[in-house]
């Protein structure tokens, strides 16, 4: 029986396992939320409230997305409405 070379064995291993190494994992909701959190703005003083900014894709297959910036209410959260303001022109 012929002896297999270490290079051949390594190539076979990589061919079989590369797809599992390269599959991207979807971030959890908490990870995605924390990634969008704005922690500081250059030249601006620190703030005491949390705010988030990022992009929301309307359809996953499209490259277009809407930009959002969300500011949490500082107090009386249950009495404050959620306001959505979108700027833009024709697509």
* 12-48 confidence digits (pLDDT tens): 455 555 555 555 667 787 888 888 999 988 999 988 8
Half-sphere exposure of 89 (CA within 13 A, CB side): 0
* Global pTM value: 0.57
3-state helix, strand, coil split of the chain in percent (to 5) is 30, 20, 50
Domain ranges of the chain: 30-91
More confident residue, 26 or 51: 51
């Amino acid at each position: 029986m012929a002896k297999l070379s270490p290079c051949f064995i390594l190539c076979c291993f990589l061919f079989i396992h590369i797809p599992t190494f390269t599959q991207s994992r979807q971030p959890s909701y908490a990870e995605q939320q924390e990634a969008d959190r704005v922690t500081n703005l250059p030249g601006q003083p620190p703030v005491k409230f949390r705010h988030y900014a990022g992009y929301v894709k309307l359809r996953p297959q499209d490259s277009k997305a809407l930009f959002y910036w969300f500011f949490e209410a500082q107090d009386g959260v249950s009495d404050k409405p959620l306001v959505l303001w979108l700027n833009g022109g024709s697509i």
